[in-house]
Amino acid sequence: MFFIKEKFHCVKQYDTTDCGAACLATVSKQYGLKIPITRIREIAGTDKQGTNAYGVIKAAEELGFSAKGVKGDKEALFSEFPLPAIAHIVVEGSLLHYMVIHKIAKDKIIVADPAKGLITYELDDFMKLWTGVLILLVPDVKFEKGDMTQGIFKRFFGLLVPQKNLIIHVFLASLLYTFLGILGAFYFKFLLDDILPYGLLPLLVSDGHQKRLIM
């Protein structure tokens, strides 16, 4: 019996133009990188017609994958190549679509269909859909695991944590600067309210001069 295991991910598409971006999001998630479909659409140049193979490869390379498109047949499916891989298929007779191949057995294939979820196909049924085109992806040295789906505040806070010592010093300096500013404001208020109106400024200056002489 060929069971679908939970370790296989499937990122669902928002609409029919998202299938290529959703497949790349699925592969990225399988390798430890969570990224929004909207971000992949931007990189891949997805339009009203969807995403072409070149766009998927371009976006994959931008995310840190080594990617290439290949064309093969039934025998090629049983040769050694990295999984997950993205397969180009035709559904409903004419609609171009992408799926992620997670696992291939003797007569069955587990795929992540962004429109339907995880599916197990009989090999012959899959061959009726597949155009023969595969996009192979392998993380290279530029690939980094992470979560790009986090909220803006959480991502911003994550960037600040490594700089916490610097931030503390800046915060303390800001407090000192604010305190001196408030102290200066009270001093000038004292001059304006209690010294200048009564002509006591010369006395204040003289008194200060005398204190310096005594010291």
User: Any catalytic annotation for residue 19?
Assistant: yes
Task: Specify the fold of 18-149.
Answer: Cathepsin B; Chain A (3.90.70)
Instruction: Return d(Cα 29, Cα 170) in angstroms, integer.
Output: 38
**Per-residue model confidence (pLDDT) at position 4:** 47
Considering the candidates 10, 19, 24, 111, report the single residue annotated as catalytic: 19
What does the DSSP 8-state code read for residue 198? Answer: G
CA distance 175 to 195: 29
Q: What is the DSSP string of 150-183?
A: S-HHHHHHHHHGGGHHHHHHHHHHHHHHHHHHHH
Could you list the mean pLDDT of each consecutive 10-residue stretch along the chain, which spans 215 residues? 64 91 95 92 89 93 94 86 94 87 91 94 93 94 85 55 71 84 73 58 50 40
pLDDT (0 to 100) of residue 3: 44
Question: Which pLDDT belongs to residue 48?
Answer: 86
Helix axes 37-44, 53-62, angle to 10 degrees: 110
Compute φ and ψ for 143, nearest 5 degrees.
-70, 135
Report pLDDT for 94. Answer: 77
Is the Cβ–Cβ distance between 130 and 111 less than 8 Å?
A: no
Q: What is the model's pTM?
A: 0.68
Predicted local confidence at residue 201, as pLDDT: 52
Predicted pLDDT of residue 195: 58
- Residue type (1 letter), 78: F
